[in-house]
């Protein structure tokens, strides 16, 4: 059962941006001003909605709505793309009864094409007609592209002043690699919280979830994670304990959504949980984990259920992480595979065969006596991934 935070309404419409038979436009509207925060792609080519969002959040810590569309990325579209993005906010602001600058836009789709503004003008009325009747799941479905299922998670959190609710939704299946992956993510909360604390909480959670996964090593032009907290529950986040409770709740939502992205990776069949410990620092552990998770050879071995642990060791060796080879201990699925510079003496192929057939495969590497750790979720790489992306625009 979806737990919906208080004070939010939802709307969807079929605008026909890519196909005429599905909803591809969604709106999330808060009943009052909400504290807003965002985390965005680090790609130097940032899409028009990303630029508009960043400018709006730099101007004000408050927002009233999130507007999302699929089928049109509005990326690499220059001044015309920026003007069109602002025009879409004007269209929605009229029936939503908010100012255009209070709406945070997000788009996903093919890079390079200008928005089909005639379709936006027609879709505005249809979007208005569903406001308050649509459900969060409808918006989660409307922003899907190559996703095979919608991704929606909600939780309740007990604070000193009462219960607050947090709901998260996202889309993403391919072109995914931190920092920020090709995803759109929205977090909605009804707690009353200070803007600075909300921003810091979002960054903390993003770094441990959406920035700790990889599908194919690509980072998009449109990635954004937006969070609203409107205070409609009338529960103030007033203590360190409250902040920590809400932060852990947000982290749980973000990590569950992140898992579903990797689970739904384009053509994916496996989720690798790559845990690196014992590094000299957390960034060193991250270097190691990312080299393994992004290795095509490791990913294809996962797809083939091949316990080729040598590919993992080789990826670690070229990662740039600082360690001594003799210190490395590798376990796969809880089975000791490699230590003291050589493989374990058992029949590893026989021991690992059932482990490699599971959807979730845990790869644990201790690379020294240090305190640095990092956990990365990674997908495998299949024939189907190539087919999907070879035919993406057709």
Kindly list the catalytic residues: 182
b/e 272-294 (16+ beta carbons within 10 angstroms → b): bbbbbbbbbeeebbbbbbbbbbb
Q: What are the two backbone dihedrals, phi and then psi, of residue 140, each rounded to the nearest 5 degrees?
A: -60, -35
C-alpha–C-alpha distance, residues 381 and 374, integer Å: 22
Name, in order, each residue with C-beta under 8 angstroms of 354's C-beta and a sequence gap of 6 or more. none
Side-chain-side CA neighbours of 174 within 13 Å: the count stands at 19
Report how far apart, in Å, the C-alpha atoms of 365 and of each of 176, 320, 358 are. Answer: 23, 15, 19
Closest to 100 measured CA to CA, from 113, 78, 83 = 83
The backbone torsions φ and ψ at residue 164, rounded to the nearest 5 degrees and listed phi first, read: -120, 160
Answer for the pair 65, 100: CB distance below 8 angstroms, yes or no. no
Tell me whether residue 217 is exposed, middle or buried, using C-beta atoms within 10 angstroms of its C-beta: 0 to 12, 13 to 18, 19 or more.
Answer: middle
């Amino acid at each position: 059962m979806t737990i919906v935070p208080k004070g939010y309404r939802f709307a969807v419409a079929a605008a026909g941006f890519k196909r005429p038979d599905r909803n591809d436009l969604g709106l999330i509207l808060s009943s009052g001003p909400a504290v807003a925060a965002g985390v965005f792609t680090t790609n130097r080519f940032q899409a028009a909605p990303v630029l508009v969002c960043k400018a709006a959040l730099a101007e004000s810590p408050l927002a009233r709505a999130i507007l999302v569309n699929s089928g049109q990325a509005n990326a690499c579209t220059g001044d015309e793309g920026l003007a069109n993005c602002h025009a879409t906010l004007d269209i929605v602001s009229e029936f939503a009864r908010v100012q255009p600058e209070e709406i945070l836009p997000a788009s996903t789709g093919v890079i390079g094409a200008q928005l089909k503004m005639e379709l936006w003008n027609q879709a505005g009325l249809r979007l208005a007609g569903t406001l308050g009747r649509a459900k969060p799941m409808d918006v989660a479905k409307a922003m899907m592209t190559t996703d095979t299922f919608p991704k929606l998670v909600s939780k309740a959190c007990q604070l000193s002043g009462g219960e607050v609710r947090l709901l998260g939704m996202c889309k993403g299946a391919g072109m995914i690699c931190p920092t920020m992956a090709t995803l759109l993510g929205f977090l909605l909360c009804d707690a009353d919280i200070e803007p600075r604390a909300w921003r810091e909480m979002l960054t903390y959670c993003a770094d441990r979830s959406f920035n700790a996964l990889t599908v194919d090593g690509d980072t998009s032009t449109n990635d954004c994670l937006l969070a609203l907290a409107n205070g409609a529950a009338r529960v103030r986040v007033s203590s360190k304990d409250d902040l920590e409770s809400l932060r852990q709740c947000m982290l749980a939502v973000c990590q569950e959504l992140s898992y579903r992205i990797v689970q739904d990776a384009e053509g994916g069949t496996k989720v690798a949980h790559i845990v690196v410990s014992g590094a000299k620092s957390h960034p060193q552990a991250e270097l190691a984990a990312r080299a393994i998770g992004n290795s095509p050879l490791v990913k294809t071995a996962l797809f083939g259920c091949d316990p080729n642990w040598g590919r993992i060791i080789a990826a670690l060796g070229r990662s740039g992480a600082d360690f001594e080879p003799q210190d490395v201990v590798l376990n796969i699925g809880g089975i000791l595979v490699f230590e003291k510079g050589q493989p374990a003496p058992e029949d590893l192929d026989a021991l690992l065969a059932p482990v490699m057939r599971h959807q979730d495969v845990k790869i644990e590497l201790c690379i020294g006596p240090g305190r640095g750790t990092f956990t990365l979720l990674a997908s495998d790489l299949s024939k189907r991934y190539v087919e999907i992306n070879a035919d993406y625009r057709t």
